[in-house]
Structure 1
């Protein structure tokens, strides 16, 4: 992807991807071993994660701690997108949140459809181009009932556009460690399984809706094979706020 540059030839602020800071490396080499000692997670298939090249880690999503578990157990540097409100808080709490997510290499994006969704995908592509393993949740948001929801085709677009291999990731038990609403994690058994890399290039170009859908469905099937979750068969999204939103969703051919 060609970066946009100002008149002096330097990348613009929008093109600069935050890299993991000191906290990330402290976490991997100090905190992660301590957490593994406490939680004794079962980690399967780390050899399936290539040491080099463009990689997307596509995972199910059950808990807030998923975004900590994956970087701490993956055998290479991981970056991911995070909700923009983690970076926009005020006061001491906002400063701590902003420093933490910036330090671990998270990139803040606004949730939404249309232009907001496309900008998130473009930022995701920039992260992949840095050589980091990019972690993403194809369901879009965490599952509140434990079922595996239909994948949004943004993951297919990313894989087809960048040529990155997709490593499916299955998380089991993280919802029990920190359920929705819980402020502190509990000690519970968890499993992190990395599946074999998937190359979706044979489905066709990224501008093909059919190719994006087929690529996404293969990725979700691989995640399901790792987790054994009940399949929801629908997208994971909040109920439409009004009739206008209901109509917009009905007319939207696919979800990014």
Structure 2
């Protein structure tokens, strides 16, 4: 159940982090966006309940849509700014580790740390793309649902508007189909993220093994050399397994 709402929880966490930065421009932007969404919701409710004069229908509807769009743009701006800050922090982290590697080239653990940090940055970027595709798919499908709802509403109001309703509903179905096609890209990027996680686990395992070998005292040189040889052998087996399994799968597929 939590996985179903994880994109929305992640969005709320990002907005809360933005608020906690104690930056007045960001806080003013978030407050303005909240007020805009509130105004749009109130106007839409009043419009549906018939509390407004008949002649004000178009103006109120346009104002509600404009307020919602402006609020959405402000929210997207804050999210983009937070994404920029996260990217800058990741770049600084990579540069710090690279500097340590240049200063201490004799320490293999630092090289593994650098590989791990870079892979984590790739994974974060990949997950960011996944979230972007998810929200794009959601928006497109909501637009398609809106077109279908509009078509049904028009035909319920007047049977003479049946052609318009058919066109609107067909457009909504087509837009929803386009949104569904984005899910194919979503699935492929998720598979790529899974591969990154697998490689990251291997790098962490190797890093821990290097740390264990480094704790062996220099006086016991034979044991240390045996540990290094065993680690090298395991690495060769580890990275030879994927290619071996691929060859085996190809052999099985051949008639």
So what's the TM-score if we normalise by structure 2?
0.22
Structure of higher CA gyration radius? 2
Higher relative contact order (CA 8 A, sep 6+): 1
Structure with a larger share of its residues in helix: 2
Structure with a larger share of its residues in strand: 1
